[in-house]
A and B are shown apart, each in its own frame.
Chain A
Amino acid sequence: MNSPGRYSTPAVLLHWLVALLIFVAFPLGVYMHELPLSPDKLKLYSYHKWIGITVLMLMGIRIAWRLTHTPPPLPRDLASWQKRLGALVHGLLYVLMIAIPLSGWLMSSAKGFPTVWFGVLPLPDLVAKNRELGDLLTEVHEILNFVLLASIILHVIGALQHHFIERRPFLQRMAWGGKENA
């Protein structure tokens, strides 16, 4: 049967905040790296890095919250392959949302550009300057991002499919208002 529950308000807030940040940082990353060197390019790189580190920090909170709060139950009649696929995509998204900003931070360190969050909080360099490692991490960062894009597409298709094609009230799980899962 249909589950009327939804995720707790902090979980919903964190989900959409991280979604918004990814929605900004992803195209920014694609756009900025092709630009010729200019002050604007340096600014965009900094904004991208600040957003990425913010996502990493929010993910710390998200994971802590997720581990201490039970999500609303899935509809009981959902096919088990759908449950498994959903869990797999969610797991992958969590891994990527940690691995991507981390790979960006590492790559920045390897290229000899420390990260100073919002120009205020200097983060430690996790690796020493190393051109080859920097180039390798750039590849890793890029590949992970395309896996992320594919995972997000699957995630969105899954949610919309449950809601509109299977006609289960599904989108309210990640919305405000309505009954929260206790």
Chain B
Amino acid sequence: MFPARSLLALLTLAALPGAASAQAAAAMQSLFESGKSNLIKTAELMPEANYAFKPVATVRSFGEILGHLANENFLICAGAKGEPNPAEGKDYEKTAGKAAMIAALRESLTYCDPVYRMPDAKALEPIELFGTKGTRLWAATLNVIHNGEHYGNLVTYLRIKGLVPPSSQGG
């Protein structure tokens, strides 16, 4: 009854590889990893000529969304780690060229990797991000859903261009 073609694809990608972990941060890891993979594949899938594509004038272009995500992965994961943002002062939305944009996106997601490997004791430590108090786990979760939300934008951009998004390519 549940008509979830895209959900099914998402579920497949988000599957815990072996045994499921009993830990809080580890619960986020598989979701981060599936989102990361979808985003990198999306960046690779879109032809460079369409990086400037936007379905309507009021939104970010395809490339700008990727750059926005690179910015935010650095920013939020620096907050989750409790260290200065290594990309402070940079704006990856202005990155020129597909190859450079993919590199920036990859770099930001790689910077985030350790956030999703924290032991629970650390994940539940309080942090502050933009003056808002939460736990490291909260920031890690925020990052995953923010990635997912913009992936949802990109899915529609790809479809408008006649391309099948990575999360629907599972066969």
Partners in one complex: no
